[in-house]
Structure 1
Amino acid sequence: MFARRTAWDLTPTELAERVACRRAEGRLVVDGVDTNPGRCGILRPGEILREGLDRLARDPRALRYEPDPRGDLDVREALAGLYADTGRSLGADRSILTAGTSEAYAHLFRLLADPGDRIHLPSPGYGLFAHLAELEGLEVASYPLREPGPGRGARWRLDLDALAADLDERSRVIVTIDPHNPTGSFVDPADLASLASIAEERGLALITDEVFTDYATEGHARPGPSELGDAGPLRFVLSGASKVLGLPQIKVAWIGVEGPPALRNDALARLEFVADAFLSVSPLAASLMPFLLAHRDEIQTEIRARLSANRAALAGRVAAWEGVELLPAEAGWHAILRVRRPAPAAPDRPRSLDEEAFVLALLDRTGVLVHPGGLYDLEPRDRSGRPCEHLVLSLLIEPDRLSRVADGLEPLLAETSAGLDAPSLRASDEPSV
Structure 2
Amino acid sequence: MTLPSPSRAPYAADPERGRGRRIPETSSATRTAFQRDRDRIVHSSAFRRLALKTQVFLPEQGDHYRTRLTHTIEVAQIARTIARALGLDDDLTEALALAHDLGHTPFGHTGEDALDAVMRPFGGFDHNAQTLRILTLIERRYPNFDGLNLTWDTLDGLISRGGDPVMRNERQSEWHRQGLACFHDDDSWSRSFSRFPSPSAEAQVAAVADDIAYNAHDMEDGLEAGLFSLDDLREVALPAQVKAALRAASPGLPDDLLVRGLTRELVGIFVEDAIAESRRRLADARPDHADAVRSLSGPVVALSPAMAEASDRIKSFLFAHMYRHPRLVSVRIRARQIVKDLAEKYVSDPLLLPPEWRTQPDLLADPRHCARRVSDYIAGMTDRFAVADHQRLFDDTPDLR
Pairwise TM-score range, normalised by the shorter structure:
0.3 to 0.5
Using structure 1 for the length normalisation, give the TM-score. Answer: 0.31
**Between Structure 1 and Structure 2, whose CA radius of gyration is higher?**
1
Structure having the larger proportion of residues in helix? 2
